[in-house]
Amino acid sequence: MSTLSDLATTDELLVVSDFDGTLAGFHPSDIYDVPINGDSIDALARLSQLPHTTVAVLSGRHLAGLQKVCPLESPVIFAGSHGAETSGEPSGERGPDAQQLSILQDLDEQLEAIVAAAPRAYVEKKPYHRVVHVAELAEESPETAAEICDAAAQIRAPGLTSMRGKNIVEFSVSGENKGTWISRRRTLIGATGVLFIGDDTTDELGFATLSEADLGVKVGPGDTAATLRVDDLAEVARIYQELAELRTLWARRRDGSSRD
Ligand SMILES: [Mg+2]
């Protein structure tokens, strides 16, 4: 496991951040009205301007929704739908093929039948994913919310994967997940060190791809493959700030020695 100091001096650094629960808190009913941690955003923006440093926000949100809610800008890379859609990559914006669309259509019928009985549960439709949301329902009726998630999680189909998260069940027809995305991006830029911070079940696939030269940080409680754990968004911000400070010093030293 790497430390922040190791990562700050690595030749080619890749910083990957989850969004919801990592850079922003939650809102029970409006996913575009979430409290965003400005300190984390500032630190990631600074990191993205440094040499040999790539910053990406990797989220389960669809790409357009992620870009709408997250105040960062290029050169920060946005990867939505768990990496199935990446900003600046046309291949990632093609959309599902006929077979995937057919699987999604069958899934929609089954999910609509499950949530029909509970008006405060709903199905979010993303290009490659469907997400059953029960957060609002869980506040007044946790048992019904759990029943809906249990019923949804029973659905199986070839080419379809599902995963449970915090008050959600998420279905995917894409082969991409946070782990495959991080691995691909690491190879693409030749990263020698990766920092990945996330809070939820889908982030575990990302943590699982990390190696000795990397650092995975889990936000909040729960089983994890990450090597470090922090309690909340303020601690996440401190990590990004410290890395931005250390990486800035590294870049200055490097710059200075190359001029000698
Ligand atoms: Mg999250």
CATH 3.30.420.40 correct for 4-93+176-259: no
Q: Is the pTM of this model over 0.85?
A: yes
Q: Which long-range contacts (CB under 8 A, 24 or more apart) does 41-45 make?
A: 41/70, 41/71, 41/72, 42/241, 43/237, 43/240, 43/241, 43/243, 43/244, 44/15, 44/17, 44/72, 44/76, 44/240, 44/244, 45/72, 45/73, 45/76
**CA of 172 relative to ligand 1 center, distance in Å:** 16
- State the distance from the centre of ligand 1 to the C-alpha of 203, rounded, in angstroms: 7
Rounded distance from Cα 102 to ligand 1 centre (Å): 28
Please give the distance, rounded to the nearest whole angstrom, from the Cα atom of residue 166 to the centre of ligand 1: 9
**What is the residue-level pLDDT of the chain in tens, covering all 260 positions?**
789 999 999 999 999 999 999 999 998 778 899 999 999 999 999 999 999 999 999 999 999 999 999 999 999 999 999 999 999 886 555 678 999 999 999 999 999 999 998 889 999 998 999 999 999 999 999 999 999 999 999 999 999 999 998 899 999 999 899 999 999 999 999 999 999 999 999 999 999 999 999 999 999 999 999 999 999 999 999 999 999 999 999 999 998 876 55
Find the angle CA(257)-CA(258)-CA(260) to the nearest 5 degrees. Answer: 65
Determine the distance separating the centroid of ligand 1 and the alpha carbon of 260, expressed in angstroms.
Answer: 45
